[in-house]
Structure 1
Amino acid sequence: MTTTHPVTRVPAAVAPVARVLPLLGVPHLDREFDYLVPESLSEQARPGTRVRVRFAGRLVDGFLVERASGTDHRGELSWLERVVSTEQVLTPDLLRLVELVARRWVGTRSDVLRLAIPPRHAAAEKSVPEAQPPRGVTAGPVEMPDGWADHPMAARFLEATAAGVPARAVWTVPPGRDWAHALATLADSVRRRGLQVLLIVPDQRDVDRLTSACREVVGGGTAGRDLVADLSAGVGPSARYRRWLRAVRGHARIVVGTRSAVFTPLPEPGLLVLHDDGDESFVEPRAPYPHTREVAALRSETDGTPLLLSSVDRTPEVAEYVRSGWAHEIRPLPGVVRALAPRVVAVTDADPTQARDVAGGRTRLPAVALTMAREAIDVDAPVLVQVPRKGYIPTLLCGSCRTPARCRRCNGPLRAGRMDAVYGPVDLACGWCGAPDSGFRCVACGSRSLRAGVVGAGRTAEELGRMFPGIRVRTSGGGEMLDSVPASPAIVVSTPGAEPVAEGGYGAALLLDSWALLGRPDLRAVQTALRLWMGAASLVRPAEDGGRVFLSADSESPVAQALVRWDPQGWADRELADRTEVRFPPAVHMIAVDGPAAALAEVLTELRIPDGVEVLGPVDLPAGEELPGQDGIDLPERVLLRIPPPLLDQMCAEVRAVVVGRSGRRHTAPVRVRLDPIHIG
């Protein structure tokens, strides 16, 4: 860290003006400001470095964007106060990507930079060796990675990456295929040709799994630690910054991380991989709320990095990439999917009330599901049971009219500590305030009876323990996560996304309470349900090895048929066509503007809306959505702008102009802007 004394400061002899982007987070101040560079800081003040400058009388952090010989500012320039670090972390490619993301998602560059560049730690900078010179691409024929022999198009994709062609591909993971090992071998193939690979996954669990696979593939031991870096927040800010520097300086050749790692600048980028783009963890919860899949696509377009989108399912957004020709599909040989897929049996379960009503002749676990479980246990194979909720009985309903049971004190949902076979739910308490309720009476019909709305993993495990005495029942989800289970008789009850991998595959999987996933009032409810089902079913053995899957959904529904036929591509194509017909994303874009009613009225008055853009609302802010500082906002509302793709850039610029204008005026309530929010309402 270098500072200067005000008395000795003289301007630098060469390029004395520094254009600095202060990290202010204010829309109307999201621009560069000119500062004088002292001669004593001239060598350290290079483009891309972190600096400190005075702004409105206080010291603020910023990034030096460029050096210039002159300025358009007519007044006296302030001095550059300090060069925090000589590390040029803001590379030209990263700056270009940050500007595009800020423009597309109607945000500020300072907010995007906070997502893209981790906080500095001086000790980490000293511990990482200096950057290596570029190694160059190794010539020679492309070798097919292990596990990709049944995907002929993978060889052509690798040839394109080696040639520096900005190829973009989509890969749907076949059932039973270890996606982590497959991506690791693919990344190692690119690494061996002298290039770097960036792998992006949804969460820490996937980071650990993929990092372990990559280190094993590159040779393990010291080589694995040196060549593979995982950018996980769990290791602490200092260790994360050190690993980030190893990637930026070219030492780490394979980088694994979560959503913010997509911005990591690599000196020799060879491949960018994003796995499971349908996971909501890829939506950044902080402004400007970009989606990692779209950022990866922008990066591939701007710097030409080859991109691979992999997943066990297919989202309509990726289907649009394939349909438009923006990306090409890496398909397996004919018959591979059918040979690897388990046999899926779906039943009619359209009425959730009757499906759980034993007296009506139907049960939550019908005979076909129990038979599958018993047959798997008989051959010493574990059984996977997926339930949509954790806990015991997360939701309680009136036993007569099915009205949700609410607390008389705060109107929160009532929860049951345990379930009695004769008296039903007991030990009632509010899930919000914790107040006990020993005298429940329904506010709608006056009944005192209660029934389970959604049975959680804990209750399901208890029921299965009584049905299968002597068989170990384990749960995965919430605070208890299992990574793997041995190939022995056991029942694993898991919430969606928390399923452990079974050695040799599960003998059977029971996907229960499908209506709880399909019945959510959300545009992507069916898409999410199919993704979670396929994720669980892909852990089951092939049908020829006895693998069976029970799905408690209507066998005639398109989503159930997609799982039965193992055809996520076909479902995504049909879903895309349906959304195009009714003008839903991704056929169009949506900008959601949230805020107080008066503020939204002002925005609509100031906004210049081009022909072809449709205004929907204002309406009440959807349930579950919260605004920063919402406690002081009376009746927050939402306005939706439905935008055809050709008008997206123009509309984003118009909204940004309004946001910047409001930011520069005092006494104006702020509004929140989101592009293509996951939950539209």
Structure 2
Amino acid sequence: MSSENGHPEPAPPQGEQLALIRETVRKAKKPRAKPRTWRGAALAKELPVAKVLVDKGPVHLDKLWDYAVPAELDADARPGARVRVRFGAGTRNVRDGRREGGGLLDGFIVERVPESDYQGPLAAIAQVLSPEPVLGPRLFALCRSVADRYAGSLADVLQLAVPPRHARIEGEPSGPLLPPPDAPDPGGWARYPTGPGYLEAVARGESPRAVWTALPGPQWADELARAAAAALASRRGALVVVPDGRAAARVDAALTALLGPGRHVLLTADTGPEERYRRWLAVNRGAVRAVVGTRAAMFAPVRDLGFVAIWDDADSSHAEQHAPQPHAREVLLLRAAQEKAAFLLGAFGCSVEAAQLVRTGWALPLAADRARVRAAAPLVRTVGDGDLARDEAARAARLPSLAWQVAREGLRHGPVLVQVPRRGYVPRLACERCREPARCGRCAGPLEARGGDGALHCGWCGVEAVNWHCPECAGSRLRAQVVGARRTAEELGRAFPAVPVRTSGRDHVLDTVPGTPALVVATPGAEPVAEGGYAAALLLDGWALLGLPDLRAGEEALRRWLAASALVRGQAAGGTVVVVAEPTLRPVQALVRWDPEGHAVRELAERAELGFPPVSRMAAVSGPPEAVAEFLAAAELPEGADVLGPVPVPPPAAGRPRRPGDPPPGEHWERALVRVRPGQGAALAAALRTAQAVRLARRDGEPVRLRMDPPDIG
């Protein structure tokens, strides 16, 4: 017998050894009882016991339960089928035989076995809702891994992975599987030195893994389609996940143009529940081997999966809002590892998580050489705070003279994009002299001014910052800037009265605009594609993005700027971008040089030095103050775990819908962050999951809310 660290453990005393041997022999000789039903109904002759996952969310009920299979349901009670079972009197858990709950509940048969470990009578499956095997072994294993990683319930993950049933759709045939296509030619991948080699490796049935920094322009959709087609050519399946319906439509059109109809399906919320279930069934039955979709498609049951790809992984749309809130990137990483599939993470920028994959050697970089990047990217010019202070035009119309000149010149040749941050951004505090973000001396969290006295407190650990001074320039004065943008379109309309002004935002998002001269005012993420590309772009109010009170503020600002600038014509074609932000800041310099990889590498180095994700793993625990304190005291956290906080959780802003993690109306919540060293993430998730299960089983106090790897820890 050996311990976890490999050293032998001391043997128990001789008396204890004899007692242990007797107990082992007694258990081995204990006869297994045959499964019986409540009503004594005849059972299936072969494999009369079904292990059922009951669709009941709490973590403490996240187990497999044994049920007897009546003879009349034998043919339909297949592994993966949906069933209804009585969960209560006469039903016992496969581990300890305790009675739980009551009433009829939905569930899934995970497997059929010849006998049960439980010795008493088993409840019978009440009904087979559908013999369609919607929960296959690979999907079950994936959901189990996701639940474990995010300290959640398997039933909650299955609700995300398996769509609701539509009985009429199940009776429809899904059609035959088309023969594999020929391997595609490199197309746009020829612009990258290692691009054709990656495509050829996928077509040969290999599993290369790459982090792809895409060149500016609209070709990314065709390049993703060619990579998926290469997987189909190797007689394997392909899965592409994108952040929104507009991006999905572009990849869908590219795949259709490349391979024709019938070889792939589009899975988005816009298709409607019935049509979505029809397409999901076609994938589950193996009639279609390629899927393009938004976040929920990360669980699509593609047969013989050989290629997974995610586009723009740093987009917040990839983070699921329902428990246990998995991220599409992490789910696809699990799938690539479990099913030995090729992996591709692509974007115009580079997230810190992507840089981490390259740094650890798990994936290789795939990018164009600098000469091609400079030719494809537009010219980027900056307007800093000092320029704005001296600029009469900027003070009068919030449009600097340089931006005015670039917009006027661009309108002679085509449309001009104006990116304006959404209203409601609350910037963090920064040094007034050098603009360095103000951070806590204990944990490097963002400082906030609370209450009427203006005292500074850390937004993570809650410690008050007394006599704060900037570590960069020793300045002691802070600044905060809140910029509203609701009248930008009207101001531009007055500035350019003869030019049409179009808007694209949350209420009305444009997909495309013609290539004729016009001003297109869009919020980040809602920029339409212009025919032939934009002649110029103005990125206004940069501090509203850079001032977000979050660790990812600079990374997110650069990502949004790159996404907008990538829609502008290249420098050779006269494309110009003006960004209104302090030129000396790292994200602005990365945009000017078009160097997202370098920015991500430097951000990752800082995270590693401070012990922040993705180098470390982190969890957020939120709820009423007493409940959070009791939960953290009861959880057996890994050795060396660092608890930051708790700090108050602010209520949702007026007019903003309540999101997971927001306190209920009228309640005071606190949040604590738990940080562990690299390699301890699984132990942290297991400890939090166990503590939550014990708390729910005992009904001790008010519940708390857990989230592993919270995207916003500011």
Q: Which one-letter code corresponds to 2:153 in the other structure?
A: T
SS in 2 for 1:288: coil
Aligned mate of 1:29, from 40, 61, 72: 61
Native 8 Å contact 2:47 2:115 kept in 1: yes
Q: How many angstroms apart in 1 are the aligned matches of 2:366 and 2:151?
A: 34
Q: Which amino acid aligns with 1:384?
A: L
Aligned to 2:679, the other structure's residue is in SS state helix
Q: 1:679 to 1:629 in 2, by over 3 A?
A: closer
Quote the offset at 1:376 in angstroms: 1.3
Q: Deviation of residue 547 (structure 1)?
A: 0.5
Residue in structure 1 matching 2:173, options 128, 149, 169: 128
Quick one: distance in 1 between partners of 2:700 and 2:609? 42
Q: Which runs of 5+ in 1 are unaligned?
A: 396-451
- The equivalent of 2:290 in structure 1 is 254
SS in 1 for 2:188: coil
| Distance change in 2, residues 1:174/1:121 (3 Å) | same
What letter corresponds to residue 104 of structure 1 in structure 2?
R
Whichever residue aligns with residue 82 of structure 2, its letter is R
Matches of 1:217 and 1:236, distance apart in 2:
26
Q: What residue number does 2:50 align with?
A: 18
Helix, strand or coil at the partner of 2:235:
coil
2:221: which partner in 1?
180
Structure 1 residues 164 and 190 mapped into 2: Cα distance closer, same or farther (>3 Å)? Answer: closer
Give distance in 2, aligned partners of 1:7 and 1:608: 44
Q: Which residue of 2 aligns with 1:404?
A: none
Partner SS, residue 105 of structure 2: strand
In 2, the alpha carbon distance for the partners of 1:77 and 1:638 equals 43
Contact 2:621–2:706 (Cα < 8 Å) also in 1: yes
Aligned to 2:677: 644
Percentage identity across aligned positions? 46
- Relative distance call for 1:370 and 1:130 in structure 2 (3 A) is closer
The DSSP-based 3-state class of the residue aligned with 1:378 is: coil
Preserved contact between residue 394 and residue 456 of structure 1 (Cα < 8 Å):
no
1:456 aligns with 2:485: yes
Q: Which residue, 690, 707, 712 being the options, matches 1:657?
A: 690
1:97–1:299: 8 Å Cα contact kept in structure 2? yes
Provide Cα deviations, 1:599-626, integer angstroms capped at 9, x if missing partner: 1121122112232211111221245486
Deviations 1:145-204 (A, max 9, x none): 321112232233233334443321111110124221221232223323333211101112
Supply the RMSD in Å over aligned alpha carbons. 2.5
Instruction: Tell whether 2:574 aligns with 1:546.
Output: yes
Distance 2:61 2:41 in 1: 27
Matched, 1:113 2:158: yes
Pair 629,324 (structure 1): closer, same or farther in 2 beyond 3 Å? closer
Match of 2:120 in 1: 75
Q: What is residue 32 of structure 2 aligned with on the other side?
A: none
The one of 532, 536, 554 aligned to 1:504: 532
**Aligned match of 2:238:** 197
Name the SS of the counterpart of 1:74 in structure 2.
coil
The partner residue of 1:233 within 245, 256, 269 is: 269
**C-alpha deviation, 1:346, in angstroms:** 0.9
**Cα distance in 1 between the residues matched to 2:70 and 2:176:** 27
Task: Please give the per-residue CA displacement for 1:186-241, whole angstroms capped at 9, x wherever unaligned.
Answer: 2223323333211101112222222222222223xxxx2x2221111222211100
The residue that corresponds to 1:377 in the other structure is 411
1:214 to 242, 246, 255: 255
| Partner residue, 1:171 | 212
**Amino acid in structure 2 at the alignment position of 1:678:** P
Select between 234-243 and 146-155 the one with higher mean Cα deviation.
146-155
Task: Decide whether the 8 Å contact of 1:595 with 1:627 is kept in 2.
Answer: no
Q: Which residue of 2 aligns with 1:46?
A: 78
Q: Residues 348 and 563 of structure 2 are in contact (CA less than 8 Å); yes or no, is this contact kept in structure 1?
A: yes
Q: Distance in 1 between matches of 2:396 and 2:498?
A: 26
Contact 1:162 1:270 in 2 (8 A): no
Whichever residue aligns with residue 228 of structure 1, its letter is H
Cα distance in structure 1, aligned partners of 2:196 and 2:592: 30
Pair 1:360–1:378, CA change in 2 (3 A): closer
- 1:249-277 deviation digits (Å, cap 9, x = unpaired): 22223211111111111112221110010
Q: Which residue is equivalent to 2:346? A: 310
**Inter-partner Cα distance in structure 2 for 1:576 and 1:101:** 25
> So what's the TM-score if we normalise by structure 2?
0.81
Counterpart-to-counterpart distance in 2, 1:69 and 1:528: 54
Q: Could you list the per-position Cα deviations for residues 473-495 of structure 1 after superposition, in whole angstroms to 9, with x for gaps in the alignment?
A: 11111222111111111111111
Matched residue pairs, number? 606
**Distance (Å, rounded) in 2 between the aligned partners of 1:13 and 1:130:** 34
CA shift, 1:54, in A, is 0.5
Q: What residue number does 2:543 align with?
A: 515
- Quick one: structure 1 residues 622 and 338, their matched pair in 2 at CA, closer, same or farther if it must change by over 3 Å? same
Cα separation, 2, equivalents of 1:668 and 1:305: 45
Answer whether contact 2:651 2:663 (CA < 8 A) is retained. no
Q: 1:453 to 1:611 in 2, by over 3 A?
A: closer
CA contact 1:386–1:510 (8 Å) conserved in 2: yes
Local SS of the residue matching 2:323: coil
Residues 541 and 580 of structure 2 are in contact (CA less than 8 Å); yes or no, is this contact kept in structure 1?
A: yes
Q: Which amino acid aligns with 2:670?
A: E
What's the TM-score, normalizing by structure 1?
Answer: 0.85
